Amino acid sequence: MNDTYLIITSIAPDTHPVLNLYAREASKAGVPFLVIGDRKSPRFHLDGCDFYSVERQAELPYQLARLLPYGHYARKNLGYIEAATRGAEVIIETDDDNYPDAAFLSARSRETEAARIEGAGWVNVYRYYSDQNIWPRGFALEHVLDTPADLDTPQMVVSPIWQGLADRNPDIDAIYRLTQPLPVHFDKTKRRIALAEGSICPFNSQNTTWFREAFPLMYLPSYCSFRMTDIWRSFLAQRIAWTCGWSVLFHEATVWQERNEHSILNDFKDEVSGYCNNGEIMRRLTALNLREGTDAIPENLRHCYRELVDMQLIDGRELPLLEAWIEDICGA
C-alpha cells in the first residue's frame, strides 16, 4: 500500500500514544506516515513516521510553504502536497486524538457499492447510523429536525472522497456537546451512503480518504474560523464534485476519538459563523455557474473561494494562498 499515504498535523511529542499507534500500524501496512509539525512542536523522532518540522517545511520547494501562517491547522496542506509529489494515489488523513480500529487502513476503491442519495438537499448522515438525534459539526441547524430520506437499493458509485465516522466522541458541534449526552457508538452494520449531486452533508478531516483525482479539493483555508476550515472545505469539495459526476461516500466508524482538551464555550464562539451561515453558503455555492469536468477544478475552486470572500466569511488574504496551492498541487 505504499501508494497510500497517512497524514496528520500535530504538535504532540513523539511519545504520544496515538502517533505511536499510527506509526506501528502504518509500518505494518506499508503506508508512509507523514506528521506535519508547527512552531510548538518539540524535537521529534519516531520510527515509522516521517516528521516535518517547520525548518524542514521551509525547505520544501512549494510556494505555499512560504505563505501559510504558523500556529494553524492548515499547515496540514503541506503534507497533502508532499504526499502527492512523492507519488501518493490515495491520502488518508486523521488527527492525533483518533484511535484507529482494525479496518482503518484497509484497502479502498474509488468505485464501491453504496446507497445513493441525489437531490435531497441537507442530509444528516449520522441519523442513518444512530437512533439518537445527532448531527455532524457544520450541519445547517435549520435542518437538524428534518426527516432522513429513504435509502434506495445499493448500487455502484464513483466516490473519490470518503468520510468515515468516529465513535465514542464523534465530530459534533458545541451545541450538541453542551446539551446532549456522550459517548455515542454508531451502528457498524449499516450500509454505506453516497451523496450525489444536490445532496449535502459536512465532512471533516479526521477520518477522510482522498483519491488522486480529488487531491486539489483537499485545500484547507487559513483565514477563517479554525472550527470551520475543514467544514467549509467540505462544502466546496462537494459542490465541485457534482461538476465531475462524483459522489461523496460516508461509511461506518473506523476510528474512535478521545478528544483533546477543548473549551466547549470557545468552540461555540468559533462555530457561530457556521451556525449563522452554513445554509446560505450552500445556497450561494449551488447557484454558481461552474464548468463541468476535472479540468475545471482549479477554476471552480477560485469561483467558490471568491464567493466566500464576498460573503466576508473568509478573508481576502486567502486568495494568494489558494493560487499557490493550485500551482503546487497541480504540479505534484
In a domain, 56, yes or no: no
In a domain, 312, yes or no: yes
In a domain, 126, yes or no: yes
Q: Residue 144 carries which DSSP code?
A: T
Q: Of 147, 231, 132, which Cα lies nearest the Cα of 186?
A: 132
In a domain, 303, yes or no: yes
> What residue spans of the chain are helical by DSSP H?
17-29, 54-58, 76-85, 174-179, 229-243, 264-287, 297-310, 318-330
The cell numbers describing 31, all together, are 503506508
In a domain, 145, yes or no: yes
Separation of alpha carbons 322 and 205, rounded Å: 18
Q: Considering only the C-alpha atoms of the chain, give the largest distance between any 2 of them, rounded to a whole number of Å.
A: 52
Query: Are 192 and 112 a contacting pair, CB within 8 Å?
Result: yes
pTM, to two decimals: 0.97
DSSP states of 182-248 as a string? Answer: --B---TTSPPEEE-TTEE----SSEEEEEGGGGGGGPPPSSS-GGGHHHHHHHHHHHHHHHTT--E
In a domain, 23, yes or no: no
In a domain, 189, yes or no: yes
Task: Cis check for the bond before 298: say yes or no (omega within 30 of 0).
Answer: no
Strand partners, 122: 200
Separation of alpha carbons 135 and 147, rounded Å: 12
Interstrand relation of 161-167 and 207-211 (parallel, antiparallel or unpaired): antiparallel
Q: Of 161, 169, 158, which Cα lies nearest the Cα of 134?
A: 169
Structural domain span for residue 312: 98-330
Give, for all 332 residues of the chain, the pLDDT tens digit: 679 999 999 999 999 999 999 999 999 999 999 999 999 999 999 999 999 999 999 999 999 999 999 999 999 999 999 999 999 999 999 999 999 999 999 999 999 999 999 999 999 999 999 999 999 999 999 999 999 989 989 999 999 999 999 999 999 999 999 999 999 999 998 889 999 999 999 999 999 999 999 999 999 999 999 999 999 999 999 999 999 999 999 999 999 999 888 899 999 999 999 999 999 999 999 999 999 999 999 999 999 999 999 999 999 999 999 999 999 999 99
**Amino acid of residue 317:** R
Q: What is the count of structural domains for the chain?
A: 1
In a domain, 11, yes or no: no
Query: Are 115 and 151 a contacting pair, CB within 8 Å?
Result: yes
The string of pLDDT tens digits covering residues 226-285 is 999 999 999 999 999 999 999 999 999 999 999 888 899 999 999 999 999 999 999 999
Query: Are 244 and 291 a contacting pair, CB within 8 Å?
Result: no
